[in-house]
A and B are shown apart, each in its own frame.
Chain A
Amino acid sequence: MYAQLVQSEGGKSRAEMTPREIAFQERIDRGEKIEPKEWMPEGYRKTLIRQMGQHAHSEIVGQLPEGNWITRAPTLERKAILLAKVQDEAGHGLYLYSAAETLGVSRDELMEMLHSGKMKYSSIFNYPTLTWADMGAVGWLVDGAAIMNQVPLQRTSYGPYSRAMIRICKEESFHQRQGYDIMMKMCAGTPEQKAMAQDALNRFWYPSLMMFGPSDKDSVHSAQSMAWKIKMNTNDELRQKFVDQTVPQAKYLGLTVPDENLRWNEEKGGHDFSEPDWAEFFEVIAGNGPCNAERLGARVKAWDDGAWFRDGLMAHAGKQEERRAALRLAAE
């Protein structure tokens, strides 16, 4: 997901917990929200910073693959819709950074950690967007996968995170639809457009499945995060749900999901499907994906090139403050 492989701290059994930790866990079990200045285990705080930070980074790095096509959008309306969508992602990054800041880390510190490679962002944004159909595929599949994770996260135990997710989910409802709308137009268009749509599905299918993270049996951190209600579903649950939801949508478009093993399994009431290439996934996470260097490079450049602007405005605000103070002094 937008927060893959988030290392969870803690993982104590009940017997190992202090009375304070037990009381904390009981509050979460009762469905109470944890608010910024309340006591929380250090592991809870650190895990949340990691997860929300990664989530926020994914939103702003996620602007880049789609931003790539804003200046090439095929009509004025498509241009406006895409720009509005990518702008929303900046907003979502902003909401999530703000929520993370309530835990005692500043946005600039989080940015530095992204730039130095200490913090990650979702693997999906290291794949290139090569044609206009990719704008459709990203909206349909990538936003579709993200929504699947974000909807349950509205109920997460940390108040500011939960509230940010509620706002994000509300705003994001149009994102997946606009992607599917692009796909419908492409599939109803010329043979070349339809081929472009199929190609986009071929390239984005497995990277989308990777978004949910490795299988639960390999995911050591899931249990603690789930107990804390920082993670609401297992990776495999969400991946299965995503496949089951997406397959009929692909069929409606007349597109073929690139998986020979894909078939309906009556017994489990869901599809059987092939695993993505996890070796590729770990390479992409480690920085060796097709666009890692470009994506991170673009973020670092934006930050470094913008330093004079941010500092200049602070300098002006400082001067104004001094002027006001001098006026107050003169008036006394």
Chain B
Amino acid sequence: MTTRTQDPAAEPSAHRDAFVDWLQRMGDNCLILGHRASEWCGHSPALEEDIALANQALDLIGQCQFWLGLAAEVEGKGRTADQIAYLRDAGAFRNALLVERPNVDFGQTLMRQFLFDAWHMEILRKLKSSSDPRVAEIAAKAEKEVAYHLERSADLVIRLGDGSAESRARMEKALKALFPYTGELFTDDAVDQAMAAAGIAPLPSSLKAGWDSTVSAVLEEATLAHPGEVWQHKGGKRGVHSEHLGYILAEMQFLQRAYPGAVW
């Protein structure tokens, strides 16, 4: 990725802080979901799925490197994407709660992926016309990868929903467990307002209609009942996470924490 270097001092600091925060939301979503997907490597129900899921994890780790790399650049404090990923504690992570939900079984993993992919596709489409060319460039590259993720996860949700009695029951359970973690993807806060005002990113609430129509269509084909309006958890994007994130980070950051400053 070639990025245009901008003088960080030229950006007003409030705007810069919001921008860095927002970039971490994008990057952390990819990082944590990629981590969860990579947990399946060697343990999937079929070799073909093992390979496909690893491809997705690789895409997400790659996207995370771009977003956190840009966050580091905009921040202008000389940090790298790796330092942002490996040296923040949970409270500084900005991913949505949805992506840190545990894998549980392949059904929950696929449902989580689908609900996220549908949102991811909506936002990347809009980000392609971001006022910041660096954001637009990352989004254009990621969109192609995510289009495939969504095609795959949507299709598997349909097949398993409209599959055997057991696969249907598992997908129903997965939907019920995960749907209450989707609302957070569409709430607007001060960071989002600032990004929208600068034309960098769309307001999350503006993505809801598109997401709804994708999700409704897929659930219908999967013969799964839409959960409707249910209580929604939130907190991830402002750093209030579930207990799960701490364990993810304890694992992910272990070497960087145990051997500070070592080069790997």
Contacts and interface: CB of A to CB of B under 8 A. Distances in A.
The dominant DSSP class at the B interface is: helix
Interface stretch (B9-17, B49-57, B121-129): B49-57
Interface residues of B, number: 53
A301 B43 contact: yes
Contacts of B43: 67, 298, 301-302
A90 B46 CA distance: 10
B42 A308 contact: no
Nearest to B256: A74
B251 A83 contact: no
B167 interface: yes
Nearest to A302: B43
Interface in A292-332: 298, 301-303, 305-313, 315-317, 319
Nearest to B38: A70
Contacts of A313: 156, 159-160, 163, 167
A90 B50 contact: yes
B64 interface: yes
Contacts of B248: 71
B45 A305 contact: yes
A180 to B, nearest CB: 14
Interface in B125-170: 156, 158-160, 162-164, 166-168, 170
Contact of A67 (B41, B55, B163): B41
A74 B261 CA distance: 11
Nearest to B158: A316
Interface in A258-316: 298, 301-303, 305-313, 315-316
B171 to A, nearest CB: 8
B231 interface: no
A185 B41 contact: no
Contacts of B44: 302, 306
B264 A75 contact: yes
Interface stretch (B18-26, B78-86, B112-120): B78-86
B58 A84 contact: yes
Interface residues of A, number: 50
Given A60-B47, A84-B58, A309 B264 contact: no
B64 A70 contact: no
B164 to A, nearest CB: 4
A308 B167 contact: yes
Contacts of B55: 87
A166 B249 CA distance: 40
A218 interface: no
B39 interface: yes
B7 to A, nearest CB: 26
Contact of B38 (A79, A311, A317): A79
A97 B47 contact: yes
A94 B85 contact: no
A30 to B, nearest CB: 35
Contacts of A79: 38, 61
Contacts of B252: 71-72
Nearest to B105: A305
B58 to A, nearest CB: 6
A70 B81 CA distance: 18
7 contacts: A67-B42, A76-B82, A76-B85, A80-B61, A312-B160, A315-B164, A317-B159
Interface of B: 31, 35, 38-39, 41-51, 54-55, 57-58, 61-62, 64-65, 68, 81-82, 85-86, 105-107, 156, 158-160, 162-164, 166-168, 170, 248, 251-252, 254-256, 259, 261-264
Interface of A: 60, 63-64, 67, 70-80, 83-84, 86-87, 90-91, 93-94, 97, 132, 182, 185-186, 188-190, 192-193, 298, 301-303, 305-313, 315-317, 319
The 10 A-B residue pairs with the shortest CB-CB distance, nearest first, are A306-B45, A312-B167, A312-B163, A63-B42, A87-B54, A74-B264, A315-B164, A67-B42, A74-B255, A309-B45
